[in-house]
């Protein structure tokens, strides 16, 4: 398996990279927040917000690929594009978390 194909979550298994590849890490391999002196100072806030939003969505909805869907990601240069024609089924979860205020 080439390094490029390994998922981010597994990259930390590589010796010497146990503390690398966090969403907010800066490196030439991950330029989403820029690099060096002018790298994005809002990346810590942004990462927390994205995690909170994702948790909110996952707590309230269930997702699965539609019957027979076989999405194919496409590559364009360094970009990887999800299959925007893929059909996904979404339904609201039963409320099973009671907020204690």
The residues binding ligand HEM (CB under 6 A) are 32-35, 38-43, 45-46
Is the separation of the CB atoms in 25 and 44 below 8 Å? no
In Å, how far from its chain's centre is CA 57? 13
What's phi and psi for 89, nearest 5 deg? Answer: -100, 135
């Amino acid at each position: 398996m080439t390094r490029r194909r390994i998922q981010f979550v597994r990259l930390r298994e590589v010796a010497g990279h146990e503390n690398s590849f966090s969403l907010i890490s800066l490196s030439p391999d991950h330029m989403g927040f820029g690099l060096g002196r002018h790298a994005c100072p809002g990346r810590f806030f942004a990462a927390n917000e994205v995690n909170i939003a994702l948790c909110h969505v996952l707590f309230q909805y269930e997702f699965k690929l539609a019957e027979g869907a076989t999405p194919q990601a496409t590559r364009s240069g360094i970009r990887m594009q999800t299959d925007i024609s893929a059909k996904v089924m979404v339904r609201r979860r039963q409320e099973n978390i009671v907020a204690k205020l």
